[in-house]
C-alpha cells in the first residue's frame, strides 16, 4: 500500500522579488501531481537547504532572475554537500544566459530551464530523474 | 529496506534531522515496515504536548504558529510544527506554502517544520498527522503544533488528535465565526483573535464570548479568548502562558485519552480493512462488477454494499451475527 | 421637431443595418463557417449598432480635454520638437538636454559617482536616474547577512546619507542639484531617500523647494508584483502619506510618485487586472492624501505614472489606453470631486508597448518586429511611437549597442517616415474601437468595484486577493501557451528543423567595471564601519528611539524624524529596523 509522492521545493534565493516563474512552476507541478513546498522570496541558501532536508524533498527548484545565479547556486550546492544531501536533484530556472548553463551543470545542477520552457517539460524532467 | 529502517531509527534516536525527515516520508508513504517502525518509536515518545491550531483561511494561523514556536523556544522548549494543506482532488498534487509565513521558525535549530498534504488517502489524514506528531515526539520535541485550515471535516479531525485545540479568528470575517459553530466549537480549548490591532477585534472577541455563553447555557467555565497581533508578536507571550498552563489541565484526563486511543485503533483498523478489501476485490474484480452494475442502473450502491458484505465476512472468517 | 425626425431616421437606419447584418451572417458568414468546418467565425465585423448610444463628447471629447480619451494633449514637447530633434541628431538615451539621464547605478556609491563623472566628460549631462541595489530597496545595509552577494548588483548601494552625498559630488556649479532633475526608482524606503534629497539640498544651501525629479514611491504595486516590500501594506501607505505631505510642503516641484501597472502585468496580470489594480492603487494614494487634509486638485498635478503593462494584442492595447485615461479622469471627477483639468491626466512618458514578457528567447531577433508593433500602438495612443524593448532583452546580458540602435531607429522611422502620430486618437469613432474601449472599461470597473467591496487596495493586498489573482492569471496564460491555444512564433509553433535561427553581431558595452563590482560589497562594509566609528552614536541612537516612539502615533508625520536620522548618520537599515519594530514586516502571500 505505497503512497509515494514526489516532493519538490521551489525557492527564490536572494532578494529578487520577481515571482512569476516560480509561481507558475509551483502551480504547474502541483497540477502534475507533485507535492510542492513553496518557500517564497528572500531565502538564503542555508534556509533553502534546511527546508529541503526537513521536508525531505526529492527536488529543489531555484528561480533566479537577478543575474546572481552562479554565486547563489554555488552556495546552495555547497550547502547540500556539507549536509551530505547531494542526492537531492537540483534544477534552476530564470534568466540564465546560454554561456552560464554549462557552468551550472558543472556545479551539479541537473536541469536548467530558461524563458519559454514549458511546465510540462519541467514536470517530465523531474519524473524521469526521480526514481520512484 | 529492513537495514535502512534500522539506520533511520538509530538516527532518530541520535537526534539526526535527516533521519527524522526520512522516516516521516516513509511512514507517510506507508512503505513496507512502517507499522513496525511506529511500534518501535511509540515507547520513545509520550512526553510531547500537542497543540492543534485551526481557523478560517486568512486568519494568520501560520504567522501565529511561528510566533508561538519562537516564544516556546525562548522558554527553552523544542518544537515540531506540522503544517497541513489540502491535496488537489484532481491531480493528487499539493501546494504547501505555510513555511513561507514562518519567518523565525525556519531559522531556529530547535524547530522542525514539516509540511503535509492531506493526500485524501484511505484511513484519512488524521492518522498520518498523528503518526508524524508521534515521530516528532519520539525525536524529542517538547511541543508539537499541528496547523490546519479549519474548513473541512478532515481538518477538524486532525486537530482532535491534539492535547489542546486553539481556534484562530480575525476581525472582519463575520462569516468565519459563523462557520466555526459547526463542529469546532465543542473541541476548542482556547480562542485567539489574531490581527487584533485591526478595527473590530473587540467585537469579534465579544461575539465569540456570546456564542460560548449560549452554547454552555451559562454554566461551567468558558474557554479563554485571547487577543494577539502575531505579525508583531503582541499578545503572544500571554498566549503561550495560557497554553503552557493548559497543558497541565484540560483534556489530559484519562477518559479523554482513552477515547482518543479508541478512535485511533478503530481508524487504523478501518484503513487496514479497507486496504485489504480493496486489494482483494481489485484482484477478483467484484468491486468493478458492482460499480458497472450500478452505472447500468441494474442495482444501487446500498444493495451492492450489502451483497459485498458476505465476501468481507468470508475474508475475515466472521460468522453472520444478525 | 428636427431632432425627432433625426432620431426616427436613425432608428430606421439602425434597424435596417440589423436586418442586413442578420442576412449577411446567415448568407455569407455561416456558410463559410460550415464550408471550412469551423465552430464559429474566426473574424468579427462591427457596425454602428455596436455603439448604439455613442455620445462623442461624453465618451471621447477633444485631445487635452475631459474625459481625455483622445489624449492628454493635442501634442506634447517631443512632437512639437520632433523635426528639430532629427536635424540635431538627438540621442534620447544620453540625457544631453539636461533632463533626466540614463537609468542606471551600480556598485558602491563612489563607483556610481565615478560613472556619472565619466558620463559628464562625454557630454551626457542628464540628472541622476538612480537604480538602487536590492539590498537598499529591501531596507538593509550592505553589512546585513541578507545583503550577501547582492550589494551594488542591480543598482547602487546606499547605506547612509554619506553615500547619497558621494553620488551627488559631480553635481555642482552648472549642474547644481536644483538645475537637473533626479529620478529615484525606490519604493519601500522612499521616505528615507526623499529625506536624503532634501537634506542634501539643505546642506548645500539649496532650497529643497527648487528640487525637481520623480521618486517611484509606488509601494502598493510591490505587494502585487516585484516584491521589494518591507512593512505591511497599511503602514506602508501611511509612510506614503508622510512623504506626500512633506513634498507638497517643502519640495513642491518634485513629482510625488510614479504609479505603475507595468510590473503588475509583467507578473502575469490580465489587461483588466492591470488597469483595475493600478487605478485601485492610485485611488488608495489619493484617498490617503485627502484624509491627510490635502487638496487633490493640487497634489494630483504631481502624480505621475511610469507605464501600464503591454502586450502584442495591438487593438486591445489601444483600447486600454483610451479606457485608462477616461476611467482615471472620471474617477477623479466623480469619486474625488477633482475639478482641475491639470490634475486629471495620466502623466506618463509612454503609452502602449508590448512589454518585456512578450519577447522570446527563441529566435531572439524576432523581438524587433514585435517591439515595432508596440511602437505603432504607442503612436496611435498619444505618445511618442516608442519601440520597446530592445530585441535582445531576454538574453539577460544588458542591451547591446546594436539592439539599442535598432530600437532607436525603429522609433525614428515611425516618427518621421510614416505620419503615424500626425493624428490624435485616430481610432476615435471607430465602431470596433469604441465598443472595445467600452468593454474593457466595464470589465475594469467591475473589478474595481470588487476591490472597493473588499475595502480598497490595501485590504485586497492584505487578504492576498490581488497577488493571488495575478499569479493565477500568469498560470492560466502559461497553460494556454502550452496547449497551443495562444500561439507564440518560435516558442510553441513554427519550431521545426526547417526554421532558421538568425543572428547578428552584438556588442554589449561594458557599462560597469566587473572589478569594481567584485569589491564593492567589501568597500561598502568598510564605509559602514567607518561611519559607525566616526558618527555621534548617542545622538543617532536617541533619534532612532524617538522615531520609534513617533511611529506608534498614526497621525504623526515621520518625515522630520527621518530627516533628523538621515542628517545624523543613522543608516538606512537602522531607520528601517526602527520602523520594522513598530510596523512589523509584510507577510508573503501564500499561494
Does residue B266 share a domain with residue B248? Answer: no
Does residue B226 share a domain with residue B86? Answer: yes
Cβ contacts of B301 within 8 Å, gap of 6 or more: B294
Instruction: List the chains bordering chain A where 3 or more Cβ pairs fall under 8 Å.
Output: B, C
Cβ contacts of C169 within 8 Å, gap of 6 or more: C113
8-state DSSP, C179: T
- C-alpha cell read off for C543: 533619534
If chain A, 132 residues long, is cut into consecutive pieces of 10 residues, what is the mean pLDDT of each piece?
Answer: 84 93 96 95 93 97 90 95 95 92 96 92 96 61
Domain end call among B204, B221, B252 = B252
Scanning every residue of chain A, which has its alpha carbon at the shortest distance from the alpha carbon of B82?
A55
Scanning every residue of chain B, which has its alpha carbon at the shortest distance from the alpha carbon of C591?
B97
Quote the minimal CA–CA distance from C430 to chain A in Å.
36
Looking at residue B2, its pLDDT comes to 47
pLDDT in tens, C198-220: 999 999 999 999 999 999 999 99
Does residue B293 share a domain with residue B190? Answer: no
Give the Cα separation of A104 and B146 in Å (integer).
38
Q: B88, B246, B314, C484: which is closest to A30 by C-alpha? A: B88
**Domain ranges (residues) in chain A:** 7-129
Chain C residues with CB under 8 Å of a chain A CB are: 134-135, 137-138, 145-146, 148-150, 153-154, 222, 225-229, 266-268, 360-362, 394-397, 471-472, 474-475, 478, 481-482, 488, 491-492, 588, 591
Contact B117, B87 (CB under 8 A): yes
Looking at residue B253, its pLDDT comes to 62
Residue B102 in contact with partner chain A when CB distance is under 8 A: no
Looking at residue B218, its pLDDT comes to 65
* Chain C residues touching B117 at Cβ < 8 A: none
Per-residue pLDDT of chain C (591 residues; tens, 9 = 90+): 556 667 667 889 999 999 999 999 999 999 999 999 999 999 999 999 999 889 999 999 999 999 999 999 999 988 999 999 999 988 776 555 567 888 889 999 999 999 999 989 988 888 999 999 999 999 999 999 999 889 999 999 999 999 999 999 999 999 999 999 999 999 999 999 999 999 999 999 999 999 999 999 999 999 999 999 999 999 999 999 999 999 999 999 999 999 999 999 999 999 999 999 999 999 999 999 999 999 999 999 999 999 999 999 999 999 999 999 999 999 999 999 999 999 999 999 889 999 999 999 999 999 999 999 999 999 999 999 999 999 999 987 788 989 999 999 999 999 999 999 999 999 999 999 999 999 999 999 999 999 999 999 999 999 999 999 999 999 999 999 999 999 999 999 999 999 999 988 888 877 788 899 999 999 999 999 999 999 999 999 999 999 999 999 999 999 999 999 999 999 999 999 999 999 999 988 888
Q: Which residue in A2, A31, A47 is closest to B106 by CB distance?
A: A47
Does residue B270 share a domain with residue B216? Answer: no
- Residue C574's Cβ-count burial label (10 Å; 0-12, 13-18, 19+) is buried
With H, G, I as helix, E, B as strand and everything else as coil, classify residue B87: strand
- Beta strands B79-85; A111-114: pairing state: unpaired
Looking at residue B123, its pLDDT comes to 45
Does residue B233 share a domain with residue B194? Answer: yes
- For C361-502, where are the alpha helices, taking DSSP H only? 367-379, 401-417, 431-454, 457-462, 465-482
Give bridge partners of residue A111 from the DSSP assignment: A91
CB contact under 8 A, C463 and B58: yes
- Count of domains observed in chain B: 3
CA C255 to chain CA mean position, Å: 14
Give the Cα separation of C401 and C508 in Å (integer).
6
- Listed as own residue / partner, the contacts of C111-115 with beta carbons closer than 8 Å and 24 or more positions apart are C111/C152, C111/C156, C111/C512, C111/C513, C111/C516, C111/C520, C112/C156, C112/C167, C113/C166, C113/C167, C113/C168, C113/C169, C113/C170, C115/C511, C115/C512
Looking at residue B148, its pLDDT comes to 85
Q: Which residue in B100, B229, B232 is closest to C590 by CB distance?
A: B100
Residue B37 in contact with partner chain A when CB distance is under 8 A: no
State which H helix or E strand residue B144 sits in. strand B143-147
Give the Cα separation of C98 and B31 in Å (integer).
71
* Chain C residues touching A16 at Cβ < 8 A: 134, 154, 227
Q: C479, C494, C357, B22: which is closest to A123 by C-alpha? A: C479
Q: B136, B268, C439: which is closest to A54 by C-alpha? A: B136
Quote the minimal CA–CA distance from B1 to chain A in Å.
14
Scanning every residue of chain C, which has its alpha carbon at the shortest distance from the alpha carbon of B197?
C583
B235 domain residue, yes or no: yes
Give the Cα separation of A58 and A78 in Å (integer).
17
Looking at residue B152, its pLDDT comes to 61
CB contact under 8 A, B30 and A1: yes
Q: Longest C-alpha distance within chain B, in Å?
A: 65
With H, G, I as helix, E, B as strand and everything else as coil, classify residue C99: coil
CA distances from A57 to A7, A14, B243, C94, C516 (A): 5, 21, 32, 50, 39
Looking at residue B1, its pLDDT comes to 43
Give the CATH number, domain containing residue B134.
Answer: 3.40.50.300
Contact C457, C277 (CB under 8 A): yes
Contact C560, C245 (CB under 8 A): no
Residue B107 in contact with partner chain A when CB distance is under 8 A: yes
Looking at residue B59, its pLDDT comes to 85
Chain A residues with CB under 8 Å of a chain C CB are: 14-20, 23-24, 26-28, 38, 40-42, 44, 66-68, 71-72, 75, 95-97, 114-116, 118-120
CB contact under 8 A, B95 and A27: yes
pLDDT in tens, B196-223: 888 888 888 888 888 888 777 766 678 8
Q: Tell whether omega for the bond before C67 is within 30 degrees of 0, i.e. cis.
A: yes
Scanning every residue of chain A, which has its alpha carbon at the shortest distance from the alpha carbon of C397?
A97
Give pLDDT < 70 ranges for chain B. Answer: 1-3, 121-125, 150-156, 173-183, 218-220, 247-254, 320-322
Does residue B234 share a domain with residue B159? Answer: yes
Contact C250, C198 (CB under 8 A): yes
Looking at residue B122, its pLDDT comes to 43
Does residue B212 share a domain with residue B76? Answer: yes
Give the Cα separation of A77 and A71 in Å (integer).
10
Q: Which CATH class is domain A7-129?
A: alpha beta
Domain end call among B252, B271, B303 = B252
Q: Residue length, chain A?
A: 132
Does residue B32 share a domain with residue B68? Answer: no
Contact C480, A32 (CB under 8 A): no
CA distances from C257 to C260, C286, C346 (A): 10, 11, 12
CA distances from B13 to B4, B16, C394 (A): 14, 8, 51
Optimal mutation site among C579, C584, C589, interface B, most CBs of chain B within 10 A: C584
Domain end call among B226, B252, B278 = B252
Q: Which residue in B29, B95, B279 is closest to A30 by CB distance?
A: B95
Domain range for B23 is: 1-43
Enter the ipTM.
Answer: 0.93
Quote the minimal CA–CA distance from B121 to chain A in Å.
8
Does residue B271 share a domain with residue B197? Answer: no
Indicate the angle between helix axes B17-28 and B34-41, nearest 10 degrees: 130
CA distances from C205 to C172, C181, C195 (A): 12, 17, 15
B9 domain residue, yes or no: yes
CA C235 to chain CA mean position, Å: 22
Q: C269, C279, C586: which is closest to C444 by C-alpha? A: C279
Give the Cα separation of B311 and A70 in Å (integer).
62
CA distances from C308 to A9, B71, C65, C271, C564 (A): 33, 44, 21, 9, 36
Cβ contacts of C295 within 8 Å, gap of 6 or more: none
Give the Cα separation of B273 and B287 in Å (integer).
15
B150 domain residue, yes or no: yes
Does residue B166 share a domain with residue B248? Answer: yes
Quote the minimal CA–CA distance from C360 to chain A in Å.
7
Does residue B99 share a domain with residue B71? Answer: yes
Percent of chain C with pLDDT over 70: 97
Looking at residue C551, its pLDDT comes to 98
Q: Which residue in A16, A20, A44 is closest to C267 by CB distance?
A: A20
Does residue B167 share a domain with residue B281? Answer: no
Instruction: Please state, as a whole number, how many other Cβ atoms lie within 10 Å of the Cβ of residue C538.
Output: 8
Domains and CATH numbers, chain C: 2-45 (no CATH), 84-215+509-591 (3.20.20.240)
Amino acid at each position: 500500500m505505497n503512497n509515494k509522492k514526489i516532493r519538490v521545493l521551489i525557492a527564490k534565493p536572494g532578494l529578487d522579488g520577481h515571482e512569476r516563474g516560480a509561481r507558475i512552476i509551483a502551480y504547474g507541478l502541483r497540477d502534475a501531481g507533485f507535492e510542492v513546498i513553496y518557500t517564497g522570496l528572500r531565502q538564503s541558501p542555508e534556509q533553502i537547504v534546511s527546508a529541503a532536508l526537513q521536508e525531505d524533498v526529492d527536488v529543489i527548484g531555484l528561480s533566479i532572475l537577478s543575474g546572481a545565479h552562479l554565486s547563489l547556486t554555488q552556495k546552495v550546492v555547497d550547502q547540500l554537500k556539507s549536509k551530505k544531501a547531494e542526492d537531492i536533484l537540483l534544477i534552476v530556472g530564470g534568466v540564465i544566459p546560454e554561456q552560464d548553463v554549462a557552468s551550472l551543470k558543472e556545479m551539479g545542477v541537473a536541469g536548467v530551464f530558461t524563458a519559454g520552457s514549458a511546465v510540462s517539460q519541467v514536470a517530465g524532467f523531474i519524473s524521469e530523474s526521480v526514481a520512484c | 529496506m529492513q537495514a535502512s529502517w534500522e539506520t533511520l531509527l538509530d538516527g532518530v534516536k541520535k537526534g539526526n534531522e535527516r533521519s527524522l525527515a526520512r522516516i516521516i516520508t516513509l511512514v507517510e508513504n506507508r512503505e513496507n515496515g512502517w507499522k513496525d517502525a511506529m511500534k518501535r518509536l511509540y515507547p520513545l515518545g509520550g512526553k510531547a504536548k500537542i497543540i492543534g491550531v485551526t481557523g478560517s483561511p486568512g486568519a494568520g494561523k501560520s504567522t501565529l504558529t511561528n510566533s508561538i514556536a519562537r516564544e516556546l523556544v525562548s522558554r527553552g522548549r523544542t518544537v515540531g510544527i506540522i503544517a497541513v494543506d489540502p491535496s488537489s482532488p484532481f491531480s493528487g498534487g499539493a501546494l504547501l506554502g505555510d513555511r513561507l509565513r514562518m519567518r523565525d521558525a525556519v531559522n531556529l535549530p530547535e524547530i522542525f517544520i514539516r509540511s503535509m498534504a492531506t493526500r485524501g488517502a484511505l484511513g484519512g489524514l488524521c492518522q498520518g498527522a498523528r503518526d508524524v506528531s508521534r515521530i516528532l515526539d519520539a525525536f524529542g520535541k517538547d511541543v508539537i503544533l499541528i496547523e490546519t485550515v479549519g474548513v473541512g471535516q478532515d481538518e477538524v479531525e486532525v486537530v482532535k488528535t491534539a492535547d489542546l485545540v486553539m481556534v484562530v479568528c480575525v476581525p472582519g470575517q463575520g462569516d468565519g465565526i459563523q462557520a466555526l459553530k459547526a463542529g469546532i466549537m465543542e473541541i476548542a480549548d482556547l480562542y485567539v483573535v489574531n490581527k487584533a490591532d485591526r478595527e473590530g477585534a473587540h467585537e469579534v472577541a465579544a461575539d465569540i464570548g456570546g456564542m460560548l455563553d449560549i452554547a454552555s447555557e451559562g454554566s461551567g467555565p468558558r474557554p479563554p479568548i485571547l487577543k494577539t497581533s502575531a505579525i508583531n508578536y503582541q499578545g503572544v507571550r500571554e498566549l503561550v502562558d495560557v497554553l503552557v498552563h493548559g497543558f497541565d489541565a484540560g483534556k489530559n484526563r484519562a477518559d479523554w485519552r482513552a477515547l482518543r486511543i479508541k478512535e485511533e485503533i478503530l481508524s487504523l483498523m478501518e484503513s487496514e480493512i479497507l486496504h485489504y478489501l480493496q486489494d482483494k476485490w481489485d484482484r477478483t474484480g467484484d468491486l468493478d462488477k458492482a460499480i458497472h452494475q450500478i452505472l447500468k442502473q441494474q442495482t444501487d450502491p446500498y444493495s451492492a454494499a450489502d451483497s459485498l458484505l458476505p465476501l468481507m465476512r468470508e475474508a475475515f472468517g466472521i460468522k453472520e451475527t444478525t | 421637431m428636427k431632432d425627432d425626425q433625426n432620431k426616427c431616421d436613425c432608428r430606421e437606419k439602425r434597424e435596417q443595418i440589423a436586418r442586413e447584418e442578420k442576412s449577411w451572417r446567415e448568407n455569407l458568414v455561416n456558410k463559410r463557417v460550415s464550408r471550412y468546418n469551423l465552430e464559429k467565425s474566426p473574424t468579427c465585423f462591427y457596425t454602428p449598432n455596436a455603439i448604439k448610444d455613442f455620445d462623442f463628447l461624453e465618451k471621447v471629447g477633444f485631445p487635452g480635454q475631459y474625459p481625455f480619451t483622445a489624449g492628454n494633449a493635442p501634442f506634447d514637447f517631443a512632437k512639437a520638437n520632433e523635426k528639430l530633434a532629427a536635424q540635431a541628431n538627438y540621442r534620447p538615451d544620453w540625457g544631453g538636454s539636461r533632463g533626466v539621464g540614463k537609468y542606471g547605478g551600480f556598485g558602491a556609491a563612489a563607483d556610481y559617482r565615478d560613472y556619472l563623472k565619466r558620463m559628464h566628460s562625454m557630454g551626457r549631462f542628464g540628472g541622476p536616474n538612480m537604480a538602487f541595489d536590492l539590498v537598499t530597496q529591501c531596507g538593509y545595509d550592505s553589512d546585513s547577512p541578507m545583503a550577501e552577494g547582492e550589494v551594488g548588483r542591480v543598482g547602487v548601494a546606499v547605506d547612509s546619507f554619506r553615500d547619497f552625498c558621494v553620488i551627488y559630488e559631480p553635481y555642482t556649479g552648472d549642474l547644481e542639484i536644483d538645475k537637473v532633475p533626479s529620478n529615484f526608482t525606490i519604493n519601500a524606503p522612499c521616505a528615507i531617500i526623499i529625506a536624503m534629497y532634501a537634506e542634501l539640498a539643505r546642506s548645500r544651501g539649496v532650497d529643497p523647494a527648487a528640487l525637481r525629479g520623480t521618486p517611484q514611491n509606488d509601494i502598493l504595486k510591490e505587494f502585487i508584483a516585484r516584491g521589494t516590500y518591507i512593512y505591511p501594506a497599511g503602514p506602508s501607505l501611511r509612510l506614503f502619506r508622510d512623504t506626500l505631505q512633506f513634498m507638497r510642503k517643502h519640495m513642491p516641484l518634485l513629482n510625488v510618485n510614479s504609479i505603475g501597472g507595468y510590473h503588475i502585468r509583467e507578473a502575469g496580470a490580465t489587461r483588466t487586472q492591470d488597469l483595475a489594480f493600478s487605478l485601485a492603487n492610485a485611488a488608495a494614494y489619493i484617498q490617503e492624501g485627502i484624509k491627510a487634509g490635502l487638496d487633490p486638485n493640487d497634489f494630483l498635478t504631481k502624480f505621475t505614472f511610469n507605464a501600464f503593462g503591454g502586450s502584442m494584442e495591438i487593438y486591445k492595447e489601444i483600447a486600454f489606453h483610451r479606457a485608462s485615461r477616461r476611467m482615471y479622469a472620471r474617477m477623479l471627477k466623480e469619486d474625488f470631486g477633482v475639478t482641475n483639468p491639470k490634475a486629471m491626466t495620466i502623466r506618463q512618458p509612454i503609452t502602449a508597448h508590448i512589454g518585456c514578457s512578450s519577447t522570446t528567447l527563441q529566435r531572439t531577433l524576432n523581438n524587433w518586429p514585435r517591439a515595432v508593433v508596440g511602437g505603432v500602438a504607442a503612436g496611435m495612443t498619444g505618445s511618442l511611437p516608442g519601440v520597446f524593448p530592445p530585441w535582445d532583452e531576454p538574453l539577460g546580458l544588458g542591451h547591446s549597442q546594436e539592439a539599442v540602435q535598432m530600437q532607436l531607429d525603429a522609433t525614428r522611422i515611425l516618427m518621421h517616415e510614416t505620419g503615424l502620430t500626425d493624428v490624435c486618437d485616430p481610432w476615435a469613432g471607430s465602431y470596433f474601437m469604441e465598443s472595445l474601449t467600452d468593454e474593457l472599461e466595464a470589465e475594469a470597473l467591475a473589478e474595481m468595484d470588487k476591490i472597493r467591496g473588499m475595502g480598497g487596495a490595501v485590504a485586497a493586498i492584505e487578504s492576498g486577493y490581488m497577488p493571488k489573482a495575478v499569479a493565477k492569471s500568469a498560470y492560466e496564460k502559461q497553460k494556454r501557451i502550452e496547449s497551443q491555444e495562444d500561439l507564440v512564433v518560435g516558442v510553441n509553433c513554427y519550431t521545426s528543423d526547417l526554421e532558421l535561427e538568425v543572428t547578428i553581431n552584438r556588442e554589449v558595452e561594458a557599462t560597469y567595471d566587473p572589478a569594481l563590482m567584485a569589491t564593492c560589497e567589501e568597500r561598502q562594509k568598510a564605509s559602514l564601519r567607518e561611519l559607525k566609528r566616526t558618527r555621534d552614536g548617542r545622538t543617532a541612537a536617541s533619534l532612532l528611539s524617538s522615531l520609534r516612539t513617533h511611529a506608534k502615533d498614526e497621525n504623526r508625520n515621520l518625515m522630520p524624524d527621518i530627516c533628523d536620522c538621515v542628517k545624523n548618520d543613522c543608516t538606512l537599515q537602522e531607520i528601517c529596523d526602527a520602523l520594522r519594530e513598530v510596523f512589523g514586516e509584510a507577510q508573503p502571500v501564500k499561494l
